[in-house]
Amino acid sequence: MELGKIRRDRRDFCPVYSEGAFAHSRAERLDWPKLLLERISWHNGATGILSRPTEKQLKIRERIGEDLNAAQKFDWKLLRSPLHIWICFGVLVLDQLTKWIVIWTMPLGSKIELLSFFELVHIKNRGAAFGIFHDASPAFRAIFFGIVTLVCVWLLLNWLGSTPVRERLQRIGLSLILGGALGNVIDRVFFGEVTDFVHVFYRNFSWPAFNVADSAISVGVVLILGTVFWQWLQKRRLRAS
DSSP count for the chain of H helices, then E strands = 9, 4
pLDDT category, 158, cuts 50, 70, 90? confident
Lowest mean pLDDT among 3-12, 114-123, 185-194: 3-12
Rg, C-alpha atoms of the chain: 27
- Would the pTM of this model clear 0.75, i.e. be above it? no
Q: Does pLDDT of 156 surpass 80?
A: yes
User: Which is catalytic among the residues 31, 75, 187, 196?
Assistant: 196
DSSP bridge partners of 181? none
* pLDDT over 90 percentage in the chain: 26
The Cβ of residue 63 has, within 10 Å, a number of other Cβ atoms equal to 16
- Eight-state DSSP code of residue 106: S
Residue 214 annotated as catalytic: yes
Contact by Cβ (8 Å): 200, 109 = no
Please confirm, yes or no, whether 95 is among the known catalytic residues: no
Over 50: is that where the pLDDT of 185 sits? yes
Task: Count how many Cα atoms sit within 13 Å of the Cα of residue 197 in the half-sphere of its side chain.
Answer: 22
pLDDT computed for residue 122 by the predictor: 94
How far apart are the C-alpha atoms of 11 and 114, rounded to whole Å?
78
Every domain of the chain and the residues it spans: 2-53, 76-240
